[in-house]
Structure 1
Amino acid sequence: MDAPKARPPGRRLPLAPRPLDRPHPSRLPATHPGRERILAAHAAALAAGEAGYPDPDTGLFVLTAGFLARRGTCCGRGCRHCPYVDDPVPETW
């Protein structure tokens, strides 16, 4: 399976047509074992207006879709909650 293609840094894009609390399936598939914990942590950070949250499994800091949307551009680094990505989902998802 090919990895999603990165966007050029700083490229202004419209927001994807989905709520900020729902990540694109290529970034957080429905089959991910930690999906519910991740979505709960993301929702709490969104509600609190925080820039991000510690990943429940790794402890790494993950930016929220709200923060990324306020920034106004896609950085092209494959952020889990990127509000700009709207690529078709590969059939394997």
Structure 2
Amino acid sequence: MATAESERAPRPLSQPHVDRMPADPAYQAEIIKAHDGALAAGSAGYLDPRTGLFVLSAGFLAARGTCCGRGCRHCPYVK
């Protein structure tokens, strides 16, 4: 179900929801570093450091204005 932008989660875009991150702290650190780089560059996303898959950044997702409901790792609307 889509969520209005006014219902964004009360956390900075640089902080993903804990339930959407892998359990491995080293992997989490790699993800945060890659995501921070994408946010700083204004990029739509980054390549996951271990899988090579493209992951959308919270900045890109926030600019869309709504949650798509697909479980994005950096969804700024998940509370």
Pair in the same fold by TM > 0.5: yes
Mark the structure with the bigger radius of gyration.
Answer: 1
Structure 2 unmatched runs, 5+: none
**Paired residue for 1:36?**
29
Distance 1:15 1:57 in 2: 28
Return the match for 1:11 from 3, 8, 11: 3
Asked if the contact 2:3/2:77 (under 8 Å) is kept, the reply is no
Aligned with 2:46: secondary structure?
strand
| More helix per residue | 2
Instruction: Note the alpha carbon deviations across 1:55-74, whole angstroms, 9 max, x for none.
Output: 00000000000000000000
Q: Percent identity?
A: 62
**Corresponding residue for 2:75?**
82
CA RMSD of aligned residues (A): 1.2
In 1, Cα distance between equivalents of 2:21 and 2:60: 18
Q: Give the aligned length.
A: 77
Moved over 4 A (4+): none
Deviation at 1:49, TM superposition (A): 0.1
Per the TM alignment, residue 28 of structure 1 is displaced from its structure 2 partner at its CA by 1.2
Q: Please, which runs of 5 or more residues in structure 1 have no aligned partner?
A: 1-7, 87-93
